[in-house]
Structure 1
């Protein structure tokens, strides 16, 4: 079992067995801390990290961790846990992961509920609109079996976000094949290298809408867990930014922080 902890900098890491820090965008870093995995070994897209964000770790895992029974991805400051909070002692243990995956297909963070807007509008209010519509076209044209679930995802106020999940090898390969095939086609159709600021991370943002699309199309079972956040969230700032994106379309946009 390998649960990758995607990070772009040295950081406090858990001692729990099964968790391995991986430096995303290793090809672009001057130094890699001792003991950290690198996403530029073997088949990889490490150089695409500015555009794919933590997905470069998932891509590396897809082709370089094929002998693992269980594969997952969390973030250096976000983990799946037994209860919400800021304590690394509360992240899922190796034994709990194995036990829970004997009952369901995928372990996921609790769905984020946006209450006053659906997932489609949330994306469009926060990001450039073209990539979302291009991805919808790609799914409709190239992956029609997934299109109904994609539309339903967009209409829902809830979604599994953060690109965090834990699953067995077969499900991991199926999910990542779908996700990267979709994103690769979108990559051919948008001028992503011209994007600036946070919009550069376009494929990381788009992929958050693909987990539920895959999950519900393939009728996978799942369990949800609270998110252990190592850094405390400024909910006043987060709420203010959310309302600005929704009601003041021309204001500066701040998404993940």
Structure 2
């Protein structure tokens, strides 16, 4: 017989402190709390709030996550009280996971896989907690973090923490509780501690801890001038509580508490933010033309030029839902793009982060001028479930006609509408037989002369969903051997389900003289149709290595710059073309990388634990600190 959660579980509440929106695990044991709610500009609708009932919410800039701890102490009832952060959780399983030097497991997203991996659910939490008195993160040795000799040195190494504040708290503690002096000395002169202010305690211990802790912190805060402190130094009270937690536990054990103490690993999620979810445009937008692009932060000027060309030639009687698939476009660039396109009231610019979809897939490209962003189109069918049809456009083109006309083309039961790829088709007729051999050995297409160019697509999403799931598309894309990557895959998987467009909808420019060196090898009717389309192109596609922002003399460059010069990124494009490199962000040398430092994830990637790079980084850090 399996017991239900209600029959077996003690009343465990793990309060998750959050000052920004995040993905919160579901479960009766998980209680998200917005901290600093009293001062917040936005009130979260999916959490409790630390400014309700008896609270110190207004003190959050100084007390940090302790405002949630105080609130839970005064307003909630449980058998066990636990505390995590919106990006840090306990690993409630018995399975050891690899840690970095800071004693943390590094993971990406709070998703179903991660929740199962680390047992972040009611059943696993109950099994891990029940029967224990106190649970903390593992004791970490500060020698491992940065070669520090003790916790005082570790504190002093942080540019935002002052040793005089730690001494002040030490004096307050020893004056209020003289019997704690030996324990404070042992902890602060020692090398190990549990960090992150994460713990789970039995109710009576939790209440005793708070009755001891907050008077100490309040006395420190009352005697401290915070008025000229920077934001990080203002958080000193929260940092002090980390050290005090360790002193409290050491003292209680030394004096005979005999608590059963457990150490659970800490999981640090690098991307706790909620998954991006797009919804249909509201009813005010009529006759919507959805158009999807894919770009990264470096491609923002070209993305903006392409969108601008499209909207400048767009019908005023239609609405345009412009969706950019991306992973790293900066907030500043997003804001600049949105502001620029406010001049088009019939268009909406939206961004969709595809990182979650691509996690776990090894996606590479075979050509230097083809970026990873090319694979983003595979996730469209799931990311935009409310659309059955849309346009997909590359960012290295300009739209010289009305995109609504392209969107309105009927596809019937076909999956895609596209222009035949005259470059690929021309290569099929080459004497060397390389492209024909590639088709025979890799693509296995029935009729390779039907191969289309995938930079301009009308996509029948309903049909695409029937062909493959997003996971299946990406699995196929992960396989090696494709020359043109996702374009090859689309041609193979959609063969026989293609509506062919007039060449004017995707006029590839004359890159490296290919019109008379490749295109003219295509069947006569294909070549003739292409040459006719050059006279009145609706879309010019700068496919290949020769781009107008690199070579202003390339084919159709003047057309491109007629649009690009009107965008706010023209100066950046000219600077890049002139060989002016974008300045690197200013360096900021930290004397130590704090346990909550945002740069830690880069350190872990560039210099993994145990590597020579890590040891060298430690030596450099010590020299920066002025220590031997």
Give TM-score scaled by structure 2 length: 0.38
Q: Structure 1 residue 85: deviation in Å?
A: 4.6
Contact 1:125 1:246 in 2 (8 A): no
Point out where structure 1 has 5 or more consecutive residues left out of the alignment.
251-257
- 2:181 counterpart SS class: helix
Q: Which residue of 2 aligns with 1:75?
A: 85
Distance between the aligned counterparts of 2:178 and 2:215, measured in 1? 13
Q: Structure 1 residue 242: deviation in Å?
A: 7.3
Contact 1:91 1:228 in 2 (8 A): no
Q: In the alignment, does 2:173 pair up with 1:152?
A: no
Post-superposition CA distance 1:201-253 (Å, at most 9, x none): 01011111011101011113311111111117233589799777754359xxx
- 1:212 counterpart SS class: helix
Q: In the alignment, does 2:222 pair up with 1:188?
A: yes
Distance between the aligned counterparts of 2:603 and 2:260, measured in 1? 31
Q: Which residue of 2 aligns with 1:123?
A: 155
Q: Which residue of 2 aligns with 1:255?
A: none
Structure 1 residues 245 and 120, CA gap change in structure 2 (3 angstroms): farther
Distance between the aligned counterparts of 1:222 and 1:205, measured in 2? 22
Q: Structure 1 residue 17: deviation in Å?
A: 3.1
Give TM-score scaled by structure 1 length: 0.88
Q: Structure 1 residue 158: deviation in Å?
A: 1.1
Q: Which residue of 2 aligns with 1:201?
A: 235
Contact 1:125 1:249 in 2 (8 A): yes
Q: In the alignment, does 2:36 pair up with 1:25?
A: yes
Q: Which is worse superposed, 93-102 or 115-124?
A: 93-102
- 1:229 counterpart SS class: strand
Which of 131, 134, 140 is 1:106 aligned to? 134
Q: Which is worse superposed, 39-48 or 236-245?
A: 236-245
- 1:1-257 paired onto structure 2 within 5 Å: 1-65=12-76, 67-81=77-91, 82=93, 83=97, 84-86=105-107, 87-89=114-116, 90-115=118-143, 116-117=147-148, 118-126=150-158, 127-219=161-253, 220-231=259-270, 233-235=601-603, 246-249=622-625
Contact 1:192 1:202 in 2 (8 A): no
Post-superposition CA distance 1:22-70 (Å, at most 9, x none): 11000011222222010001111101110111111001011011x2111
Between 1 and 2, higher relative CO (CA 8 Å, sep ≥ 6) is seen in 1
Structure 1 residues 64 and 204, CA gap change in structure 2 (3 angstroms): same
Q: Which is worse superposed, 201-210 or 100-109?
A: 100-109
Contact 1:72 1:165 in 2 (8 A): yes
**Larger radius of gyration between Structure 1 and Structure 2:** 2
Point out where structure 2 has 5 or more consecutive residues left out of the alignment.
1-11, 98-104, 108-113, 254-258, 272-600, 608-613
Number of residues of Structure 1 aligned to a counterpart in Structure 2: 249
Q: Structure 1 residue 105: deviation in Å?
A: 1.1
- 2:14 counterpart SS class: strand
Structure 1 residues 37 and 200, CA gap change in structure 2 (3 angstroms): same
